Amino acid sequence: MASESSYYVPENSWIPVLTATSLGSMALGAGLFVQGKTPLILLAGVTLLACVLFTWFSTVIGENMRGMTNAQVKRSFTMAMGWFIFSEVMFFAAFFGALFYVRVLAVPWLGGEGEKAMTNSLLWQGFSAQWPVMQTPDQVLGGTKFVGPHENMGFPGWGKVLEWLPLWNTILLLTSSWTVHIAHHAMKHGNRTRFNVFLAITVALGLAFVAVQYREYHEAYTTMGLTLKSGIYGTTFFMLTGFHGFHVCLGAFMLSIQLLRGLKGHFKPDDQFGFEASSWYWHFVDVVWLGLFIFVYVLG
């Protein structure tokens, strides 16, 4: 077996090709689903993905517990997680870039700024640039495809600051980054109870964040007229906060798996990679939120 030599190569495995099958079926199924056709292929793909990922992670955890994962392999895992988070950073960068571009350049141009005066006078006469865009160019010309919101998510003034949901969400998420750090510290010192308690608090804070965001979205759709279809403000608002919210769900799911593993006693003070990787992910989600809080809410 590989563990006897100083290098480790895993046995042949069905898991990767089945994972690829699930991704292929999800791509086909999602393409069908968004066109209003059957959701079954997408669901089958997602189910298969869940099964194979469960098996894959169980296998790796099992290998580690049997001592087959040497320090070099662990270093590979660490690097892989770090670079994966970097790729996620770049995914968010695309959407932040889109926000900066429309806000700083495209919307003022539509309003006729500088050399682009003709754009405004020939195509979108009457549109005046402002951010958030409360009235879309389409609306100014009498269109109904993109109708701007009556209210936006920006800073409501100091009088109403306590009703401002994103502030609460910032507090929740920053606290959760702190609690997950305490949990990490506790495990490093072998204090399992403290680890479990603080990890549970972290997951609860994450779920509270999702609940508050759900309420915020509900308000946006029902009372503020702010939807995906309300022009570029709604577009950037929902895509940025939506992808972030999805990552919070993913991070909370990862941490709750680690909580279950913690309860089963999987981790040791010097061997807790699964937890550490999830906590890095959690910190990353937190940092993205700070970017959102500043650029989407405070300056929005």
Interaction residues for other proteins, span 68-87 (CB under 8 A): 72-73, 75-77, 79-80, 83-84, 86-87
Part of the chain binding other proteins (CB under 8 A), chosen from 15-23, 159-167, 169-177, 288-296 = 15-23
Q: How far apart are CA 167 and CA 169, in angstroms?
A: 5
Q: Is residue 144 a contact point for other proteins (CB under 8 A)?
A: no
CB atoms < 10 A from the CB of 28, how many? 14
Q: Are 147 and 229 in contact (CB under 8 A)?
A: yes
Q: Is residue 43 a contact point for other proteins (CB under 8 A)?
A: no
**Closest separation between CB of residue 160 and other proteins, Å?**
26
Q: How far apart are CA 207 and CA 4, in angstroms?
A: 44
DSSP string over 130-158? -SS-SS-HHHHTT--SS---SS-SS---G
Total residues interacting with other proteins, rule: CB under 8 A = 75
Which tokens belong to 104? 């700083």
**Closest separation between CB of residue 115 and other proteins, Å?**
7
- When binding is defined by CB under 8 A, the residue of 62, 121, 128, 143 that contacts other proteins is 143
126 or 269: whose CB is closer to other proteins? 126
Question: Binding pattern to other proteins, positions 163-202, x when CB under 8 A?
Answer: ----------------------------------------
Query: Cα dihedral sign for 158, 161, 166, 169?
Result: positive
Q: Are 182 and 279 in contact (CB under 8 A)?
A: no
Q: Are 288 and 244 in contact (CB under 8 A)?
A: yes
- When binding is defined by CB under 8 A, the residue of 171, 228, 263, 294 that contacts other proteins is 228
Part of the chain binding other proteins (CB under 8 A), chosen from 89-97, 160-168, 266-274, 292-300 = 89-97
Which tokens belong to 276? 């550490």
DSSP state of 191: -
Angle between helix 192-219 and helix 273-292 axes, rounded to 10 deg = 30
Question: Binding pattern to other proteins, positions 94-133, x when CB under 8 A?
Answer: xx-xx--xx--xxx-xx---xxx------xx--------x
Residues in 246-275 that interact with other proteins by CB under 8 A: none
**Closest separation between CB of residue 180 and other proteins, Å?**
24
**Closest separation between CB of residue 300 and other proteins, Å?**
14
Q: Are 262 and 195 in contact (CB under 8 A)?
A: yes
Q: Is residue 40 a contact point for other proteins (CB under 8 A)?
A: no
**Closest separation between CB of residue 116 and other proteins, Å?**
8
**Closest separation between CB of residue 43 and other proteins, Å?**
15
55 or 191: whose CB is closer to other proteins? 55
Torsion of CA 291, 293, 298, 300, to 10 degrees: 80
Closest CA to 240 of 92, 86, 89: 92
